[in-house]
Chains A and B, each alone.
Chain A
Amino acid sequence: AQSVAQPEDQVNVAEGNPLTVKCTYSVSGNPYLFWYVQYPNRGLQFLLKYITGDNLVKGSYGFEAEFNKSQTSFHLKKPSALVSDSALYFCAVRGSSGSARQLTFGSGTQLTVLP
């Protein structure tokens, strides 16, 4: 069965500093990887995805993520954090065939950017 691990429940970073939110995954076949953000009382908003190609994927609001096949990781990054980036972030994976096609989410990481 496929799975996603977000090892940190909470990440705190000072405004202007770089941020990293970690994600590792397990799936059969080629992975499709996603990051979503959730603000209070809002639905999940798509940030970025990796399907194929360049391992560094750029997404919305200045976020990017790096796909590392050997480490089965897809960490979310941003060079300079904003207070408005404070939210709950979810990593998700989908396999490329069969029962792995369901979109499976991690447990989420609460990012707090301190002014």
Chain B
Amino acid sequence: EAGVAQSPRYKIIEKRQSVAFWCNPISGHATLYWYQQILGQGPKLLIQFQNNGVVDDSQLPKDRFSAERLKGVDSTLKIQPAKLEDSAVYLCASSPDRGAFFGQGTRLTVV
């Protein structure tokens, strides 16, 4: 079974630039999560989708972050404009029911 695919693996941008991350979940998984993991901390949920609808985006900084899951499959997470404190690993996960399977993440460095 193919896992959760994320791209790019690494990204370096300057502050105030824009960046987008892509996630392809495991086929058939209805739930998709985006997490932000800052170095030395546990993953923090940014947004949770159920199919193509948003279940929880209470911790998403909506003034600069946006996410979509068109057709209930792939998802993109965008940051515009980026700040230095956005430097982190962005993890995508998908779930068939109660657990979650994670991608390898995208490491973002904002300079």
Which listed residue, A46, A94, A106, A108, touches B101 by the CB 8 Å rule?
A46
Give the bracket for the number of chain B residues in contact with chain A: 20 to 34
Check B91–A44 contact: CB distance below 8 A: yes
Chain B contacts for A41, CB-based, 8 A: 104
Chain B binder among A63-71, A72-80, A97-105: A97-105
Pairwise interchain contact A43-B103, C-beta atoms closer than 8 A: yes
Q: Quick one: which of A49-86 are within 8 Å of B by CB? A: 49, 51
**A107 contacts which chain B residues (CB < 8 A)?**
41-42
* Chain A residues closer than 8 Å to B42, beta-carbon distance: 4, 6, 90, 105-108
Q: Which of B43, B104, B105 contacts A90 (CB 8 A)?
A: B43
A43-B104, A107-B41, A108-B42 known; A102 vs B99 contact (CB < 8 Å)? no
Q: Tell me which residues from 83 to 111 in chain B have a Cβ below 8 Å from any Cβ of chain A.
A: 91, 93, 95, 98-105
For the A-B complex, the count of residue pairs with Cβ-Cβ distances under 8 Å equals: 53
Chain A's nearest CB lies how many Å from the CB of B76?
18
Residues in A with CB closer than 8 Å to B102 are 36, 43-46
* 26 A-B pairs with C-beta separation under 8 A: A4-B42, A6-B42, A32-B98, A32-B99, A34-B99, A36-B102, A42-B104, A43-B4, A43-B103, A44-B43, A44-B91, A46-B101, A46-B102, A49-B98, A90-B43, A101-B48, A101-B55, A102-B45, A102-B55, A102-B56, A103-B33, A103-B93, A105-B35, A105-B42, A105-B43, A107-B42
Q: Could you tell me which B residues sit within 8 Å of A by CB distance?
A: 4, 33, 35, 41-45, 48, 55-56, 91, 93, 95, 98-105
